[in-house]
């Protein structure tokens, strides 16, 4: 019968990825120090190391599929992944927004959504966060490396902006850095209109008419 991986690591089932990694590294160092001792001690250490590796990866896999939605209860990442594959970025984003536990994989999926919308700069920021939370994850490293190549291309920024604008209209989600710009543009427009109306009033008082229709 297979042993409980959490029991092997000596952590609770609700332990965080950081707690699991810390327990794994502590036990690995302990067993490695015993590995070359003679007799049963060395043999036991070798078995424990092998057992530890399997338990560690099993716990990480469990954590990647164990999270909660604030509104819809427990679910797996699979539904969001399928939505992304099917091009349903709006639905995937909505599901992602409702997740409480935002670990490395959450930010990885957010990076994919941003990339598919053409928002590559924002996508890279999400991959940076994912790697901060899980620095040894090869999948995240490879994704960021590929994205860096895209961003370093001659027309990467222009292509990203054009693609982002088109995606914004289709999916109904605004690019993360666009809301502040829109607010500033709206304010500038209002200020311009107010200035023109004020000038027109002054001209009329002096017998002139700056804006004929007013």
Supply the pLDDT for residue 126.
95
pTM of the model: 0.44
Supply the pLDDT for residue 114.
93
Closest CA to 77 of 85, 86, 66, 90: 66
Supply the pLDDT for residue 107.
94
pLDDT 10s per residue in the chain (214 long)?
568 999 999 999 888 888 899 999 999 999 999 888 888 988 998 999 999 999 998 888 777 655 433 333 334 688 898 888 888 999 999 999 988 878 899 999 999 999 999 899 999 999 999 999 998 898 899 889 988 888 887 354 454 444 444 444 434 455 665 554 555 555 555 455 455 454 455 445 445 554 455 5
Closest CA to 64 of 139, 143, 145, 122: 139
Q: How far apart are CA 24 and CA 29, in angstroms?
A: 9
| 20 backbone dihedrals φ, ψ, rounded to 5° | -65, -45
Cβ-proximal residues to 132 (8 Å cutoff; 6+ apart), any chain? none
Residue spans per domain, the chain: 5-64, 68-171
Length of the chain: 214
Supply the pLDDT for residue 181.
55
Note the CATH architecture for domain 5-64: Orthogonal Bundle (1.10)
Label each residue of 63-91 as H, E or C.
HHCCEEECCCEEECCHHHHHHHHCCCHHH
**How many Cβ atoms sit within 10 Å of the Cβ of residue 69?**
16
CATH class of residue range 68-171: mainly alpha
Supply the pLDDT for residue 146.
87
Supply the pLDDT for residue 73.
35
Label each residue of the chain as H, E or C.
CCCCHHHHHCCCCCCCHHHHHHHHHHHHHHHHHHCCCCCHHHHHHHHHHHHHHHHHHHHHHHHHCCEEECCCEEECCHHHHHHHHCCCHHHHHHHHHCECCCCHHHHHHHHHHHHHHCCHHHHHHHHHHHHHHCCCCHHHHHHHHHHHHHHCCCCHHHHHHHHHHHHHHHHCCCCCCCHHHHHHHHHHHHHHHHHHHHHHHHHHHCCCCCCCCC
């Amino acid at each position: 019968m297979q042993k409980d991986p959490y029991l092997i690591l000596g952590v609770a089932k609700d332990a965080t990825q950081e707690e699991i990694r810390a327990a794994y590294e502590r036990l690995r160092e302990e067993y490695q120090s015993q590995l070359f001792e003679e007799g049963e001690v060395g043999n036991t250490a070798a078995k424990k190391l092998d057992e530890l590796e399997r338990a560690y990866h099993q716990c990480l896999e469990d954590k990647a599929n164990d999270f909660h939605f604030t509104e819809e209860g427990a679910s797996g990442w699979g539904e969001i992944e399928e939505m992304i594959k099917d091009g349903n970025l709006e639905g995937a984003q909505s599901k992602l927004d409702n997740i409480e536990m935002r670990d490395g994989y959450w930010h990885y999926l957010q990076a994919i959504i941003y990339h598919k919308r053409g928002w590559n700069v924002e996508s890279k920021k999400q991959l940076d966060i994912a790697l901060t939370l899980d620095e040894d994850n090869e999948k995240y490293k490879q994704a960021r490396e590929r994205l860096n190549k895209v961003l370093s291309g001659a027309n990467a920024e222009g292509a990203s902006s054009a693609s982002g604008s088109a995606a914004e209209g289709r999916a109904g989600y605004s690019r993360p850095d666009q809301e502040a710009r829109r607010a500033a543009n709206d304010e500038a427009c209002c200020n311009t209109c107010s200035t023109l109306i004020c000038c027109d009033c002054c001209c009329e008082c002096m017998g002139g008419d700056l804006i004929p229709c007013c």
